[in-house]
């Protein structure tokens, strides 16, 4: 939850030093995924809340899971795929737009963001 990538990396290093002896496998996993862990600092700050959570995925599949429990079997593969598709269509009606959705075209154009802020090009 650090404001800048520099602060996050300092906290990361402190964590590794503090827990490497106690939890060597967890620390090794964090070391292996270091580049991926801090990627969101290269996106707009308003998007961070969406990047840090898995709730959209969990809530979508909660709807599907709830229905499949009630039907006690989904029938054929085609019937299951059709049901999941229809449930996702219904679920999307209550979804909210991403905060900062107007910045998505900039992200798609590989515009540079540093610590969530748009990097102004120097002429």
Q: What is the pLDDT of residue 123?
A: 41
- Residues 30 and 21: their CA atoms lie apart, in Å, by 14
pTM greater than the 0.75 cutoff: no
Residue 41, Cβ density class (10 Å: 0-12 exposed, 13-18 middle, ≥19 buried): buried
Q: Note every long-range contact of 55-60, with CB atoms under 8 Å and residues 24 or more positions apart, other chains counting.
A: 56/95, 59/91, 60/88, 60/91
Q: What is the pLDDT of residue 24?
A: 95
> What is the residue-level pLDDT of the chain in tens, covering all 123 positions?
889 999 999 999 999 999 999 999 999 999 999 989 998 899 999 888 888 887 777 877 787 788 777 776 667 888 888 888 888 888 888 877 778 888 889 889 988 899 888 887 544
């Amino acid at each position: 939850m650090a404001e800048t990538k520099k602060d996050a990396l300092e906290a990361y290093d402190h964590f590794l030093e503090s827990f490497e002896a106690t939890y060597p496998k967890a620390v090794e996993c964090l070391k292996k995924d270091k580049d991926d862990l801090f990627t969101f600092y290269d996106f707009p700050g308003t998007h961070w809340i969406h990047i840090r959570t898995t709730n959209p995925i969990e809530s979508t599949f909660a709807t599907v899971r709830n229905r499949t429990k009630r039907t006690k079997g989904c029938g054929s593969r085609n019937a299951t795929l059709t049901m999941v598709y229809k449930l996702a269509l219904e679920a999307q009606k209550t979804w909210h737009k991403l905060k900062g959705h107007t910045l998505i075209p900039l992200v798609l154009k590989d515009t540079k963001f540093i610590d969530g802020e748009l990097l102004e090009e120097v002429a």
